[in-house]
A and B are shown apart, each in its own frame.
Chain A
Amino acid sequence: MPCERKPMRYGHSEGHTEVCFDDTGRYIVTCGNDGDVRIWESLDDDDPKFITVGEKAYSLALKKGKLVTASSSNTVQIHTFPDGDPDGILTRFTTNATHVTFNRSGTRVAAGSSDFMVKVVEVSDSSQQKTLRGHEAPVLSVTFDPKDEYLASSSCDGSVVVWSIEQQTQVISWPLLQKTNDVSNATSLCRLAFQPAAGKFLAVPVETRVHLYERGSWDHVGSLSDELLTQPVNVAAWSPCGRFLAAGAIGGLLTIWDVNSRLVVERQKHEKGFTVCSLAWHPSGSQIAYTDTEGCLGLLDGLGTSGTGTSSTKAPAAKPKDYDDLFDEDDDRLMDEGLSDANSPVKKAAEDEDDDDFLIPSTGRVRNRGAILNDENSLDTGSLKLGQDKFGDDEDDDAGSSVAPATAQRPVYDGPVPTPPQKAFQPGATPAHLTHRFMMWNSVGIVRGYNDEQDNAIDVEFHDTAVHHAMHLTNSLGHTMADLSQEAVLLACPSTDDLASKLQCLHFSCWDTSKEWMVDLPQGEDVKALCLGQGWAAVATSALLLRLFSVGGVQREIFSLPGPVVCMAGHGEQLLLVYHRATGFDGEQALGIQLLQFGRRKRQLMNGEPLPLSPKSYLSWAGFTAEGTACYVDSNGLVRMLNRALGNTWTPVCNTRETCKSKSDHYWVVGAHENPQQLRCIPCKGSRYPPTLPRPAVAILPFKLPLCQTSTEKGQMEEQYWRSVLFHNHYSFLSSSGYEVDEAAQTQSDKEQQELLMKMFALSCKLEREFRCVELAELMTQNVVTLAIRYASRSRRMNLAQRLSEIALEKSTQLQEDEEPEDEPDYRQSEPYNTRQNEEDDEEEQVEEEDGREMETEETKRREFSPPFLSSNILDNMRSSRKLAPLSGSAGKPSKGPVLKPLAPRTKAKAQSTLLQISSNKMPSKKTPEAAEPAADLQKQPDVVAPPAENTENKRPKTGFQLWLDENRKIIIANNPDLDETDVIKEAMGRFRTMSADERLSWTERAKGQSGDAADVKKRKRAENEVVESDESNARKKSSSLDPSSKLSAFAFSKN
């Protein structure tokens, strides 16, 4: 049967609980052992309205806006519904009443009591009472005959009695039940029920069956039973149409019978097997609400479909009897069709008609269905129609004259249903109807509102007492909204009949003596939301206006809102405004968001974009992180943060529900920080918001991007990386809006991101995912790419290393392009190079590169030997790199020098060769410039480049270490004069090893260059220049990109 059992939810404290629907079916109303009557808008209503009726509430009945309850004070009271105002006491007993019920018209109430009496009271005049005496034990249950003639009651003395109300006499009495002495000891509550509408039957739960007695004759006409029902039935309830009977049993079994056929049409089991102690049908007959003895509330939904399902199964079931011979095989087909059809929404719409009158509407429906089916089934429609007609006849006397449920007549609209727009709220405030509540909890402090008999007051408390001492204000104006900042407290109240809506500001940081100001809003305009920023206050009103005030009370800008405001938040100069963009459908809210920036340059950062929310959720918090990034939380607990780097999109950063233990637990968010990454919130057990007492403690949740497969190492690192990127976006925002930025933290975060990238790179390498490696390298900064290159070459992935080196080059040129604009012009003016004039066009890039490098190194030196600028530059770089490396320390942040250095000279030699070519001609071409450079230096600057001069004398190929040793021997000896030769070498070895790998590499390269070409450096150099000139038109970038790879291969070679 298609019937959805919704999960149970906590309703009341443990104990007998009752439930009913209001007349319209909009609310579910429950009462329980805690003495509260709760009014639920739906099963998912986390904040039901409640009316306290006494210490315990035993029973309730609701009709025509009157709520009648039996409470522990031995009275039966009336409250208005849904307001919950007390409306007098209907009657009293000497002990508590056990069950109350309305008659059909709602004019009388019957109440059974533990003092053995049943009273029937006129609602309009409680003095008109009729007392029915005769039970010899507490009364279990009472029910009115729909025609108001009789009343049936069951009692612990074991009897079920039908009374004549007028004569106050027993009409008949059956000894059906077990005798007990008290309701609490009774095996069954024996909630009996008269059939509504026709009132033909009285249903009495007896043991595991429900007996049906015919009204008038009081004959036992049958029993409803089910083999699965093994425990006593507690409660019986008729569907509003009178065709179905639902029974709830001890042990939690819910059974629904079709009374005419006496067949079970639906069985459901309570999810925990608790005893069902109350059942109520929705006025439309499509839902059943039930409660158990543990105080939980449950709902069966979609019963309408099951209802039709049975009618259609029944129709064919009746038909074969008469028309068996005619349509033997098609019947089954049709039955199937009918069943499957029963699930369709069309069918659901038709269900009500079929309940109240079978003749015309049902035929119409069946014909329609026939038309939808294929031809051969069209024959069956006739038979089905007949079958249904017959079926209708059977029932005609029950249903014919009866008044159909109100809903049945209404045309049923089955499309999307508009969602009621969510009300305006203050983020960080608990609902306004509470007597003790938080009016605001934010990063500055807490504003509490008390509104009970003794006191109507507001407490303001600051987390940091250095801001201001705590304040206690009397709330004579009835403020309902508050915001708190480092400068002021802003309060607002809605308008009353004679008073306008007021805005009050306590500007405590003010340096003059009048620290308070108040503004009346124009007549008919109510404050809906408010917020404080730095130096300003904003108020959104019911007139769809946003009024801006200075914090001192000067009225500033005013503008119209695009829709009714939902909430606002302020931070520094930013104002976040959420409003209703349109009507949402099917539980969705259609919200829009505006983000404005005040201050010197006023502008709108977000211009009414739709606010993404989780399905069927609403906004529950909106605000800024401490760093000023907008973020918000929806009712599904999903936290989203503004991603400025991705065109102001919203990224989910945390799902607070994931950390909740139970379904009804929530986290009430009070703030967020990006550095350190903290979501500050208050865990609330079984509710959406915390009570004011005991004072709740703030918990911290970590952020987590919902990336895939975060259980794997890869997913984890990806998540960490992107989270780090997202949460450090605010630096650029802060610096762009002129705030001070914590440089250390920023570099720290950059470092962290690059480290993560490197780890991911290493992981991908391990997994043989070279393409992925390259993708990752594209995210890296140039320095880290060189690291990656080294990693790749060390793990002998030459192909990868080459590709990476291309990326490295691209990055370096990019870097220089970024840097260039500032110095390029004056560079050109101050440095008239010969070479540049010769090869102006193609040298341009080169120049740029040079330029960037020059920034790093000593400019003066470069100027000294201007003509062959290539060599001088390289030397400079080498020197600088050697100087820098020890300072920069770890490999994490190698200086720029080593990367750039080899690029420039390489450029020309390599132009446009393919990979293969590169590898083949790599060696010689690479050597040339390097070798050339020391030589050139030697010529031009003998004093500066003394070590290379020595090198030229060496005939024998030298290793990089030797080269280095030559240069540094003197220093070592100077430092340790007592060392002999071997010790010097040892010492030098040690020092050489401590140098960064890059440096060693450069030495190795130098050594290679020298070993091969030292003799004819000059020649080579000239040759190279020629090459350069000939290739000048070829793509420079390409060629220069090869350099790192060659460098690497050299590294690999030396390793081998």
Chain B
Amino acid sequence: MDPSEVEFLAEKEFVKIIPNFSLDKIYLIGGDLGPFNPGLSVDVPVWLALNLKQRQKCRILPPEWMDVEKLEEIRELERKEDTFTPAPSPYYMELTKLLLNHASDNIPKADEIRTLVKDIWDTRVAKLRLSADSFIRQQEAHAQLDNLTLMEINTIREFLLDSLNCMYKLRSNLQPGATKGQFADY
């Protein structure tokens, strides 16, 4: 899975915008949106919000969790805990990137938020690597990781699976009596 695909999925998340135009309900396959009243907040998917924003048709209201204090709390918690804490949003990384790249003028303290989210991300990915490392080291058959977001899984999936495969091959070759023919196709 490509990161851009994950981002695409994230664009289905809803954010609040304040439109500066007026439009009746619009009926889309994914559901009805609107009505849009100038000055009144309305929930729209991120893709639409960004599109409207680029055309200067709205202001985006940052999601509730995109707030310096809340993120600081989450960061501290994330650092304190050994396991993964629930992420502020299942698409927190993608949303932060999308919103801050396109609508940083509507988000107070955008730079701080960017740093904080990056910190959280780094902490989580470090944990992920660490657990992958111990998983392999201890030659476990299975492990459970809670509260991972799609993007995080995505970053490690390819590498982890390939390396596990590889190691499996190596190990099975080492073991006496292992039939070579099994892996002939490789």
Contacts and interface: CB of A to CB of B under 8 A. Distances in A.
Interface of A: 443, 445, 462-466, 680, 694, 697-698, 700
Contacts of A700: 40
A697 B18 contact: yes
Contacts of A445: 39
B38 interface: yes
Contacts, number: 30
Contact of B22 (A466, A697, A698): A466
A703 B21 CA distance: 25
Given A445-B39, A464-B22, A697-B18, 11 more contacts: A463-B20, A463-B37, A463-B39, A464-B20, A464-B38, A464-B39, A465-B38, A466-B21, A694-B108, A697-B41, A698-B18
A700 B57 CA distance: 21
Contact of A443 (B18, B39, B61): B39
Of listed B22, B39, B41, B56, residue having the most chain A CB within 10 A: B39
Contacts of B56: 465
B167 to A, nearest CB: 53
B133 to A, nearest CB: 43
Contacts of A698: 18, 39-41
A697 B15 CA distance: 14
Interface in B28-71: 37-41, 56-57, 61
Interface in B1-41: 18, 20-22, 37-41
Nearest to A466: B21
- Interface range on chain B (Cβ under 8 Å from partner): 10 to 19
27 contacts: A443-B39, A445-B39, A462-B20, A462-B38, A463-B20, A463-B37, A463-B38, A463-B39, A464-B20, A464-B21, A464-B22, A464-B39, A465-B20, A465-B21, A465-B38, A465-B56, A465-B57, A466-B21, A466-B22, A694-B108, A697-B18, A697-B41, A697-B61, A698-B18, A698-B39, A698-B41, A700-B40
A464 B108 CA distance: 23
Contacts of A694: 108
Of listed A443, A445, A466, A697, residue having the most chain B CB within 10 A: A697
A700 B40 CA distance: 9
Contacts of B108: 694
B6 to A, nearest CB: 29
Interface of B: 18, 20-22, 37-41, 56-57, 61, 108
Contacts of B39: 443, 445, 463-464, 698
A694 B56 CA distance: 20
Nearest to B20: A465
The 9 closest A-B pairs by CB, nearest first: A463-B39, A464-B38, A463-B38, A465-B20, A464-B22, A694-B108, A464-B20, A466-B21, A464-B21
Contacts of A465: 20-21, 38, 56-57
Nearest to B57: A465
Nearest to A626: B37
A462 B38 CA distance: 8
A722 B57 CA distance: 38
A665 B41 CA distance: 21
Of listed B22, B38, B56, residue having the most chain A CB within 10 A: B38
Nearest to B35: A676
A465 B20 CA distance: 6
A463 B21 CA distance: 7
A694 B105 CA distance: 12
Contacts of B22: 464, 466
B116 to A, nearest CB: 18
A466 to B, nearest CB: 6
Contacts of A464: 20-22, 38-39
A463 B108 CA distance: 20
A700 B35 CA distance: 14
B20 A680 contact: no
A1026 to B, nearest CB: 64
A680 B21 contact: no
B90 to A, nearest CB: 24
A388 to B, nearest CB: 63
Contacts of A466: 21-22
A685 to B, nearest CB: 14
Nearest to B59: A695
A303 B21 CA distance: 59
Nearest to B16: A697
A443 B39 CA distance: 8
Contacts of A680: 40
A748 to B, nearest CB: 15
Contacts of A462: 20, 38
A696 to B, nearest CB: 11
Contacts of B41: 697-698
A325 to B, nearest CB: 75
Nearest to B108: A694
Contacts of B20: 462-465
Nearest to B37: A463
A477 B163 CA distance: 74
A698 B21 CA distance: 16
A560 B45 CA distance: 54
A466 B108 CA distance: 26
A462 B57 CA distance: 12
A29 B38 CA distance: 43
Contacts of B21: 464-466
Contacts of B40: 680, 698, 700
A155 B160 CA distance: 70
Contacts of B37: 463
A377 to B, nearest CB: 67
A443 B108 CA distance: 25
Nearest to A467: B38
Of listed A445, A463, A466, residue having the most chain B CB within 10 A: A463
Contacts of A463: 20, 37-39
A468 to B, nearest CB: 11
A463 B41 CA distance: 11
Nearest to A443: B39
A464 B56 CA distance: 12
A161 to B, nearest CB: 48
A443 B20 CA distance: 12
A847 B10 CA distance: 70
Nearest to A673: B37
Contacts of B18: 697-698
A900 to B, nearest CB: 39
Nearest to A465: B20
A466 B61 CA distance: 21
A466 B56 CA distance: 12
Nearest to B40: A698
Nearest to A470: B20
B35 to A, nearest CB: 9
Contacts of B38: 462-465
A897 B57 CA distance: 52
A561 B27 CA distance: 51
A497 to B, nearest CB: 39
A453 to B, nearest CB: 24
A445 B108 CA distance: 22
A697 B63 CA distance: 13
B67 to A, nearest CB: 11
A100 B30 CA distance: 69
B134 to A, nearest CB: 44
Nearest to A695: B59
A443 B40 CA distance: 10
B62 to A, nearest CB: 11
A729 B108 CA distance: 43
A187 B27 CA distance: 69
A698 B16 CA distance: 12
Of listed A464, A466, A700, residue having the most chain B CB within 10 A: A464
A445 B40 CA distance: 11
A445 to B, nearest CB: 8
A448 to B, nearest CB: 14
A464 B18 CA distance: 10
A463 B22 CA distance: 9
A196 B75 CA distance: 58
Contacts of A697: 18, 41, 61
A447 to B, nearest CB: 13
